Amino acid sequence: MFEFIRTHRRWMQFILLLLIVPSFALVGVQSYTHFVNGEPELATVAGQGIKQSEFDMAHRNQLEQFRQRLGTQFDPAVLDTPAMREQLLNQLIDQRLLAQVALDNRFSVSDETLRNTIAAIPQVQDDGRFSPERYRQVLAAQGLSPTAFENGLRRDLAVARVLEPVGLSARAPQAVVQGIEQALTQKRTIQLRSFAAADYRSKVTVTPQDIQSWYDANKESLRVPEQVQAQYLVLDEAAATQGIEVKDEDVATYYEQNKNRFGTPEQRRASHILINAAAGESQDARKAARAKAEDIARQAAANPAGFADLAKQASQDAGSAAQGGDLGWIAANSVPPSVQQAVAGLAKDAVSGVVESPFGFHVIKVTDIKPAQIKPLAEVKEQITAEIRKQLASARFAEMATKLQGAVYDQRDSLQPAADALGLKLRTAAGISRGGLLPADQVGAGSASASPDAAKLDNPRVRQALFAADVLREKQNTGVIELAPDTLLALRVAAVEPSQIPPLDKVKDSIRARLLDERSAQAAREAGEQALKALQAQGQAEGFAAALTISRQDPANLPSNLVDAAMRLDAAKLPAFTGVASGNDYVLVRLEKVEAGQPDAQGAAMLGRQLGSAWGEAEDQAVLKMLREAYKVQILPAASPVIKGGQPAEG
């Protein structure tokens, strides 16, 4: 059918024209256009649109992946940004673009390549080998059939072939690798002289007028975001454990029921003489082996003290014969069950009869016994008490969690009834904004950031719940929020403080401190720059600290901007000088000596691989840019509001 349409394109255009024209008369041009193009297109690739529904689905999938990866720390406000949405749209464009290139150039993947790719997936392997059963199980768990998965994978592999030749051929030029290697390993001997801002703080002044002027010019930078004061309940292990008393008789009962846990069980050391007889051997061979073992058993029983010598002569166990048959202290499951049972039933220095196992026939002697040692109750009482309390708390936590779930909904405008019903303390914290907890010095007493519960209150899910419309405006309780399996929170907004610019009286001290920092830093910089001019003119080097040697690989814990300044100095004329701001301080750098580094072969090879990878990514981007131009990729106006987080305007 599709081949017919391609072959008879002009006929199909005529037929479509006959169908379309009457519809214009019936519904109007504008209505028809809206009907056909009702779903906005955000971009086009070779004239084919990327619909908003495609973007929305990819966007939901991306956020869900972040949610699964980050758990309770997932915060859409941080991750769902215009930059992230723009990046996602560009990824969809590149996927569509590469798929179109693969289709146009008839890229394909052989069955063998497909099979090898699937077999190399770790999730479908068992002991390092492809498992058809695991393959079917993994696909079934994702709701996929083998046919659908293989078709999709074949398509993805074909698309990957578009850029594959670029990546394979990408190599950073050797001259570039060597140049970067030399820059990384070059050593420079420098001296530093610091002009500390703190030394100039007493020499600068800040007047009330300075503070007022700064406040007037920078009011908006002081704006405090909308914040809430929250009441909340915390149900955790500590709350569930509170008030639980463990009776002495319960401790004693627990001790009697679990005695084996509070000491070491009996241990037995044994030796054996083995006559080999594999399960697959003939009946006659097994009879002969048993007869030999019975004869050895009689000799061992007659002279138990000579068991070790007899084992050295007669045992066919190459691992123990030379040690007189010694098996060491017998651990659980270290010997066949029949041997374990025989060892357990013998007294010290007693010799068994013939014991059969899958390896053959054994004659066993117990050479030592360590009796079981149980710690007295007094020694383990605290441990048992803690274990019982934890078990009771676990059951109580589940019961309290159920009650909390109901209580926060029974009276939606208060948490006090829930607190009373469960015996929990109703707590209060202020300074919680949509973006995080405000600094304690900005909020004052009762700030969330200074609270022991700061980590709980700063959880993205908690902040999202507090700023939900019904909770924020109507002061209703949030639902119960599970931060961890043993930590639940319920909250309500007690007060809302709108976004505001604080009055001058509240911020004048911080403004004064800021201006003092800025002016003392400026004074230090001016003094440093003046000294630098004198050094560059006269070459004197007074006041510098002891010399140290640095490289880009080993910066000696110096700030990166200071290292960069030292490495940029011209080594043609030494000594060379420069100055750089380091925080509020100003530091002069004197370059004394430059030495070539000593690159090692392993480091050079690693650097080459890293640069090759970066070079390949750059070439990939260059090819994608060229393909975008060739396939006339356009990002349409409807994409702008979607990227900003809204919806496209109606057409």
Q: Are 46 and 631 in contact (CB under 8 A)?
A: yes
Interval 65-70 mean pLDDT: 80
Percent of the chain scored above 70 by pLDDT? 91
What separation in angstroms does the CA of 97 have from each of 48, 61, 164? Answer: 10, 21, 15
DSSP 157: H
What local confidence, expressed as pLDDT, does residue 481 receive?
94
Alpha-carbon gap, residue 466 to 460, rounded angstroms: 10
Whether the predicted pLDDT of 622 surpasses 50: yes
Q: How confident is the model at residue 70 (pLDDT cuts 50, 70, 90)?
A: confident
Least trusted range by pLDDT, from 300-304, 521-525, 612-616: 612-616
Task: Give the pLDDT confidence score for residue 306 in this predicted structure.
Answer: 94
What spatial distance separates the first Cα and last Cα of the chain, rounded to whole Å? 34
> What is the model's pLDDT at position 64?
83
Mean pLDDT over the full length of the chain: 85
pLDDT of residue 611: 76
Residue 140 pLDDT greater than 90, yes or no: no
Q: Is 60 exceeded by the pLDDT of residue 27?
A: no
| Listed range (23-27, 143-147, 193-197) with the worst mean pLDDT | 23-27
Own/partner long-range contacts of 351-355 (Cβ < 8 Å, ≥24 apart) = 351/297, 351/300, 351/301, 351/304, 351/307, 352/297, 353/294, 353/297, 354/290, 354/293, 354/294, 354/297
Say whether pLDDT at 3 is over 70.
no
Q: How many CB atoms sit inside 10 A of residue 340's CB?
A: 18
pLDDT tier at 72, thresholds 50, 70, 90: low
pLDDT digits (tens, 9 = 90+) for 439-449: 998 898 999 99
Side chain identity, residue 522 = Q
Q: What is the mean pLDDT of residues 129-154?
A: 83
Mean pLDDT throughout 580-591? Answer: 94
Beta bridge mates, 428? 231
In 260-386, which ranges are E strands? 263-264, 267-276, 326-329, 351-357, 360-370, 373-374
pLDDT score recorded for residue 497:
94
Q: How far apart are alpha carbons 370 and 380 in whole angstroms? A: 22
21: confidence class by pLDDT, cuts 50, 70, 90:
very low
pLDDT tens-digit readout, 201-246: 999 999 999 999 999 999 999 999 999 999 999 999 889 988 888 9
Q: Examine residue 460 and say whether the peptide bond preceding it is cis (omega within 30 degrees of 0).
A: no
Res. 167: pLDDT tops 70 = no
**Number of other CB atoms surrounding residue 509 within 10 Å:** 11
**DSSP for residue 415:** S
Whole-angstrom distance, CA of residue 613 vs CA of residue 372: 63
- Residue 341: the pLDDT is 92
Write out pLDDT tens, residues 495-513.
Answer: 999 999 999 998 999 999 9
> Could you tell me how far CA 544 lies from the centroid of its own chain?
45
Q: Hey, is 164 helix, strand or coil? A: helix
User: Of 3.20.20.70, 1.10.4030.10, 1.10.8.420, 3.10.150.10, which CATH number belongs to 39-183+614-650?
Assistant: 1.10.4030.10
Q: Which residue has the higher pLDDT, 36 or 630?
A: 630
Architecture of domain 266-371: Roll (3.10)
pTM for the whole structure: 0.56
On the question of pLDDT at 193 being above 70, the answer is: yes
Mean pLDDT throughout 314-336? Answer: 88
CA distance 146 to 150: 6
300-315: burial string, b at 16+ Cβ within 10 Å, e else: beeeeeebbebbeebb
Cβ contact 324:307 at 8 Å = yes
pLDDT tens track for 381-440? 999 998 888 888 889 999 999 999 999 999 999 999 999 999 999 999 999 999 899 999
Cα–Cα distance list, 549 to 167, 190, 511, 599, 604 (Å): 39, 6, 40, 16, 22
Of the pLDDT bands very low, low, confident and very high (cuts 50, 70, 90), residue 166 is low
DSSP 439: P
Question: Model confidence over 47-60: pLDDT tens digits?
Answer: 889 999 989 888 88
**What are the tens digits of pLDDT across the range 267-306?**
999 999 999 987 778 888 899 999 999 999 999 999 999 9
Contact 413, 473 (CB under 8 A): no
